Structure 1
């Protein structure tokens, strides 16, 4: 082989070797291990995930803090009545709408003890009796509910006109009077089991143990099963309206 031929063969061999190296370099660059700069992407995703988790944790912590604050607020509210006892007392006492009901304030009522009680048969309306209680004491007192009356030998007290209940307890200052009406019998004669009563016993209310025996007309009064009483009233007109 000539020297020129040898140089040409060597040149081709070197060229082939160079092409092989270039091909290997390209293969390495295009492989899944070299080109993929997924370290940055992966790191970015990881960072986003961490950030999202951090925000979730922060939100959770915030929620927990909010719950804790609500709990503290509830605790403060629970302690408020003790801290604001005057306001609590005001709301639990008499309202501006009127006096408290008898049931709610019975412990604060002062029953009438120094009194004068009378019974009067009136002309109008027919078959009615007017009871009058006057406070003869030196302090205010209260007429509670309605009177319990016993006419003649009756074994039970008559029922009350529920609609006659006043909006407030009748409180009597010294010298003032309260009133109650007694329907003795039906004006049209429709009542039954009638009888004539010549005695009258009055209790200020159905729980009272103290009674007063009052005078009736000598001929007595006619009573039937229409017998009813009213609650204690502030005026005679209200007592005789039933």
Structure 2
């Protein structure tokens, strides 16, 4: 009886050990499969990381892109080299560009009625003023010395010259250029004889010597209703019309 119990116990123990051994083998097999599955999934996750950049990398790309902004003219931190525009080579227009070719190298002569054209016109301002314009029609520069010497109609005396209008230098006219003189027809009202009407004006030109006149005079017809008196004056020749009409 006791032997049977021992045998039964041994058999039961052996069966238990066998069952435990089979259970352990099953667990080992399951763990191996999980590891194998994990081993396959890990490379796939690693591949996704390579294909999809991390969010932190995007701002760096944007920063690099703005560093090559062509509107700002810079590439990164290095300034872009800008080529300056080509020079046009155009010259600024000056009085010398209006000279007759070679005229400035010719010896100047004195301006007279023979190498100039003289025009008289009524000035709108100041009132009771005429304007004389003399233009060089010759092929050489000419000197317009001092002031024009005027005679109204058959007057015996030369019209008074306004000394305060003397320019700093002699006016030189290149061919085609003009000079100007203003004629104040009358003085203060009541300061002398009554103004008298004139229809003709003779313009004589001064030479290097202020006394007398030189060359042929210019004979001009005056604007209608021109009146003058002995208190009027004529200015020296001026290079600018505005300068002449300031007196």
| Distance apart, 1:121 and its partner CA | 1.1
* C-alpha separation in 2, matches of 1:124 and 1:132: 16
CA offsets per residue over residues 155-179 of structure 1, 9 Å max, x none?
1102211111101110001110001
* C-alpha separation in 2, matches of 1:119 and 1:154: 18
Indicate whether 1:224 and 2:229 are aligned.
yes
Indicate whether 1:161 and 2:162 are aligned.
yes
Root-mean-square deviation (CA, aligned residues, Å) is: 1.6
**Richer in strand (by share):** 2
Tell me, which stretches of 5 or more residues in structure 2 are unaligned? 1-106, 207-211
Which residue in the other structure is 2:127 paired with? 126
Q: How does 1:49-64 map to 2 (within 5 A)?
A: none
Which residue in the other structure is 1:147 paired with? 148
Whose radius of gyration is greater, 1 or 2?
2
SS in 1 for 2:167: coil
Which residue in the other structure is 1:34 paired with? none
SS in 2 for 1:218: strand
Which residue in the other structure is 2:186 paired with? 185
| Distance apart, 1:136 and its partner CA | 1.1
Indicate whether 1:239 and 2:240 are aligned.
no
Q: How does 1:28-107 map to 2 (within 5 A)?
A: none
* C-alpha separation in 2, matches of 1:216 and 1:171: 26
Which residue in the other structure is 2:4 paired with? none
Contact 2:121 2:223 in 1 (8 A): no
| Distance apart, 1:209 and its partner CA | 4.2
| Distance apart, 1:142 and its partner CA | 0.7
Q: TM-score by structure 2 length?
A: 0.51
* C-alpha separation in 1, matches of 2:246 and 2:223: 23
Tell me, which stretches of 5 or more residues in structure 1 are unaligned? 1-107
CA offsets per residue over residues 134-153 of structure 1, 9 Å max, x none?
01112211100110011122
Contact 1:150 1:157 in 2 (8 A): yes
Q: TM-score by structure 1 length?
A: 0.52
Which residue in the other structure is 2:136 paired with? 135
